[in-house]
A and B are shown apart, each in its own frame.
Chain A
Amino acid sequence: MKHLLTAAMPRDEAVALLDLAEDMHQIQDREVKKLPALRGRTVVNLFFEDSTRTRSSFEIAGKWLSADVINVSGKGSSVSKGESLRDTGLTIAAMGVDGVVVRSGSSGAPTQLADWIGRPVVNAGDGTHEHPTQALLDAFALRRRIHGGAVRGRGLDGVRIAIVGDIAHSRVARSNALLLPALGAEVTVVGPPSLLPVAAADGTRLGVRAETSLDRVIAERPDALMLLRVQLERQAGRVAPSAGEYITGWSLTDERLARLGDAHIMHPGPMNRGLELSSRAADSDASTILEQVTAGVSVRMAVLYSLLASDHPSAVDGGTR
């Protein structure tokens, strides 16, 4: 693995990353939350887009592995003064950093940086493209819920997961639609027709089954429901339905919660209570929301370790390039 740009990866690689994250997860129970694996390594968090939670999660992950972590914010940096993405990347690489974690509002920016700077690049969310570490942490949290203590070496075979919301503009949906099926899960994306991505000739969207009715999907009794953050204010009335229309059709209301059975309820955060899901749903025992946050650090430790620990990373060059 040279970069983590996409969640599209072979099953073996995904399972190995999740297993490694399990080992990393143990550190959370320790008094000394420090491993020396990346001592002397420098990681730059290059965030062109604000995201306190993702940046903090990567920062903690790097620090727990003893890397030096530098945060570079896009706001107020030379980027906002017209410096090209390429020049920014080359400048940071020239400072001798070992790896770059990139969050960008532009789809593909991490892929381009990876081509330009010759350093390991981790995609921490790019535009409406992908958010691979989010998908990995979702898989991590769900795998623990499904398999309990015996998770090692296992995927999510036969687990039926519905992803609900603005699928067209969600990088979380994209990465999960790639990763979860690779782990054996059956994924359905659900949302208002105008917020579903373009369908392929076979009717699939993002390579998975698409549905417009959440009620139909709930009637199928899925094993997990993943509710995406919806930002209706961005396009209300044109592309997206109104909040009222959204809640009527696609919110996990108390009434739908009652029909959901014991499905796990997931949300990448931050939540809009009352819009994507009711407070009762968010706070129920079925909710994995806080576990997902905790999993984030472990998964990101696994990713940073895999990319940066060795000067000779394995030759695996699949989806993770």
Chain B
Amino acid sequence: MTTLLTGARVLGGEVRDLAIEGGALVDPATVDRDAAETVDASGLVALPGLVDLHTHLRQPGGEQAETVATGVRAAAAGGYTCVFAMANTSPVADTPAVVEQVHRLGLEAGLATVRPIGAVSVGLAGERLADLGMLAGSAARVTVFSDDGHCVADAELMRRALEHAAALDAVIAQHAQDPALTRGAVMHESPLAAELGLTGWPSAAEASIVARDAMLAEAAGARLHVCHVSTVETVEVVRQAKARGIAITAEVTPHHLLLTEELVRGYDGRFKVNPPLRADRDVQALREALADGTIDIVATDHAPHAPEAKQTAFADAAFGMVGLETALGVVQQSMVETGLLDWAGVARVMSTAPAAIGREPGYDAPLAIGSPAHVVLVDPGARAVVEASSLKGRSANSPFLGVELPGRVLHVWHGGRRTVADGEVVTGGAA
């Protein structure tokens, strides 16, 4: 079967047709237009399927908040065709059995590729290295290792992890948070935290770890990826490390591109996240760093939580926000509509670059003929208020509830298979 997408603004630029056949993009000139299913893409922007290097799917162990199946539904609705599932599940993804289970659940769900991330340390305890080689060699072919949720604080453990990862062509994704500097911390350290009587989280607790890890990565000749950069200081450290030629990449979350600590004023647990929402100067620096390439990618840190984990005292509430379904809209608002990034840039930071860091094939030539048909059609002119009831994942702990965001993901193809049609996730069992 052939599908013809007519009149799309490809990567936001040239208006042309796209054709999908047998799971790949083919030359529209060669297809039988009468026999093809046609989707009118006029006015829509065509992007490559989005890749999220930082998703918490919660399964196994956290099924009340999310499962692989519900998580990929949210991913598809947000325009994602590939998600990297974080290792902080229960049990932790530190054995081949766990990563292979997650991998298999992803294949069964079918709506997007699920790439399990392996733990750096056994049980995320930060004490003993997990069997990185066995994870890499498993059926889940792990290429990204992270203790996310916890920092690999022990410098020697980090050094050894980087050395092992280098040999495996894998990357260590560090959750940069010095635990000694952030005991009991629940929000950004600032005059506002002082006013609210909440324990603050100094910016230096992030930047200092990134600086250390950059030195370690350089010495090990390894690739280092910095999760959720949140401060102007960290941006500066990453910039200097890149200038030194260190193989460092960095991500920013959508919420850190748009939201500030001011939202914590009402003590609503929805706005509690790790790293915390920062000040306006940080938001501005993060946008500029994403635009100039200092920060390589946008990653959602999609972190579903059941309501009871959030509807409690702020200090006791769980960290994290769901983000798969709002990421593209937030990036449109904070980066495209501000003129900092064009749609080709969006394709780079949300698809090509994260796929390259995660060594996921098929994303290196976005929307090129011959590539796998991972395609998203977005209506950039649509605007909608985010409602809990419209979210497709299991949890609704979004900081954007009640907020109007631009852009609507109308159609998604994952390897040629339609996963979203007219804004609705196409259900129909396994691919």
Contacts and interface: CB of A to CB of B under 8 A. Distances in A.
Does A pair with B?
Answer: yes
Nearest to A171: B197
A71 interface: no
A181 to B, nearest CB: 14
B167 interface: no
Contacts of B199: 128
Contact of B314 (A84, A86, A107): A107
Question: Which one of B191, B197, B200, B312 has the greatest number of beta carbons of chain A within 10 Å?
Answer: B197
B313 A129 contact: no
A140 B188 CA distance: 35
A51 interface: no
Contact of A84 (B196, B268, B312): B312
Given A112-B267, A115-B266, A198-B200, A107 B315 contact: yes
B305 to A, nearest CB: 13
Interface in A87-120: 104, 106-109, 111-112, 115
B311 interface: yes
B31 to A, nearest CB: 57
Contacts of B195: 174, 206-207
Question: Which one of B190, B200, B312, B313 has the greatest number of beta carbons of chain A within 10 Å?
Answer: B313
Nearest to A109: B313
Contacts of A106: 313-316
Contacts of A85: 311-313, 316
Contacts of B196: 107-108, 129
Interface in A191-237: 197-200, 205-207
Given A127-B197, A174-B197, A206-B195, A104 B313 contact: yes
A88 to B, nearest CB: 10
Given A171-B197, A198-B200, A86 B311 contact: yes
A174 B267 CA distance: 17
B327 to A, nearest CB: 28
A107 B197 CA distance: 6
Contact of A107 (B189, B267, B311, B312): B267
B154 interface: no
A166 to B, nearest CB: 12
A112 B194 contact: no
B197 A84 contact: no
Contacts of B34: none
A186 interface: no
Contacts of B308: 84
B252 interface: no
B142 interface: no
Nearest to A104: B313
A197 B194 contact: yes
Interface string B187-228: 001110111111110000000000000000000000000000
Given A106-B315, A108-B267, A108-B313, A198 B189 contact: yes
A106 to B, nearest CB: 3
A109 B266 CA distance: 10
A84 B305 CA distance: 15
Contacts of B200: 198
Given A111-B267, A112-B267, A198-B200, A206 B194 contact: yes
Interface of B: 189-191, 193-200, 266-268, 308, 311-316
